[in-house]
Amino acid sequence: MASSDLKKSTIVRLMNVGLAAGELVAPGLAARWVSRQWFTLPPPLRANALPEGGEPFEVSWEHGIVRGQSWGDGPLVYLVHGWGGRSDQFAALVEALRQAGYTVVAFDAPSHGGSDPGAWGPTSTTGVEFGKALDAVFVKFGPGEAVVAHSMGALSTLLAWNHGWFGADRLVLVAPMAGYAEAMDVFQAMLSFGPRIRRRVDVRTWRRVGLDDDEFDVRNLWSRLNEQPPVLIVQDDADPQAPYAESLALAEDMGAEFMATTRLGHNRILADGEVARRIIRFLEADEADVTLPAA
């Protein structure tokens, strides 16, 4: 084991011991620390080069400027990245969609990439801020043929769809965050904290985002749409952040088409050529050829 790995292992053990103690004697204090980690963005991903020819744009929302780019002049497709992501993760998909004749709009969420910080500063944001940013971009560009949303971007897209102006004819969810509860389950398992801390973290979360827990669930948000578009869900079998079984169950509940990939993980799935081709086939399918959600 390398020395850096040993150091990380020691830190993890100490953290687990501290949280175990916090569970017993100071769950409120421990929950404050866990909540801070939950809302803190990870280190930025390595930048990718987006295709040439993009038109930069800026839109204002209540806490600053959201920046992005658009390409093409055909049917409009929005791309929404996830927590800790950025618009250039979609570089390969942008090029594939552009070559297929679509207009593509991609942007950086608040506190991500080239956009201004949100209300909580440059290292933090919320899914609600993601949704408000998407809504502001939508006001500029208008109705879309589709939206492709990755990870937490799936939840934020449906928040915007329910509470804002946003709408599209088709929906593609890639490695979707199905809901707060499922994502926090993964986070809790990673940090190994107990139920007393968890209850307090949940309360702190709802106070911060200003919504109830049922508002952070893709199924609930989906069920409230007046018109439910055809859906494609793409999920890898080796994704540690979005469990495969959960995405498969989500597809069944939404009546969605489902594409499984192998050993691409949570982020590389966005750069896969076969995934891009499947998304384009889904967008170009006649309505009669698309698997519609159950009534």
Give the three-state DSSP class for 80.
strand
Distance CA 294, CA 282 (A): 18
| Strands, sheet with 55-61, edge to edge from the N-terminal-most edge strand | 55-61, 64-71, 103-107, 76-80, 144-150, 168-174, 231-236, 257-261
Residues 109-167: tens digit of each pLDDT: 999 999 999 999 999 999 999 999 999 999 999 999 999 999 999 999 999 999 988 99
**Could you tell me if 214 and 227 are in contact, meaning their C-beta atoms sit under 8 angstroms apart?**
no
Distance CA 62, CA 83 (A): 20
pLDDT band, residue 216 (cuts 50/70/90): confident
Residue pointed to by tokens 């552009």: 98
Average pLDDT value over all residues in the chain:
90
Is the model's pLDDT at 179 over the cut of 80?
yes
Confidence at residue 96, expressed as pLDDT on a 0 to 100 scale: 96
Instruction: Output the CA angle 137-177-127, nearest 5 degrees.
Output: 45
Nearest to 262 by CA among 295, 236, 243: 236
Which tokens hold the place of 75? 């049917």
CA distance to 7, 27, 196, 198, per residue, from 21 (Å): 21, 9, 12, 14
**Helix (H) or strand (E) segment spanning residue 280:** helix 273-284
Distance CA 153, CA 134 (A): 9
Pick the more confident residue, 210 or 68.
Answer: 68
Confidence at residue 290, expressed as pLDDT on a 0 to 100 scale: 47
Confidence at residue 20, expressed as pLDDT on a 0 to 100 scale: 81
Pick the more confident residue, 45 or 95.
Answer: 95
Output the CATH code of domain 52-179+217-289. Answer: 3.40.50.1820
Is the model's pLDDT at 209 over the cut of 50?
yes
pTM across the whole model: 0.91
Calculate mean pLDDT across residues 76-83: 97
Confidence at residue 288, expressed as pLDDT on a 0 to 100 scale: 42
Q: For the chain, what are the domain ranges?
A: 1-39+180-211, 52-179+217-289
Confidence at residue 287, expressed as pLDDT on a 0 to 100 scale: 52
Q: Helix, strand, coil: what percent of the chain each, to 5?
A: 50, 20, 35
Q: What are phi and psi of 161, to 5 degrees?
A: -65, -35
Is the model's pLDDT at 15 over the cut of 90?
no
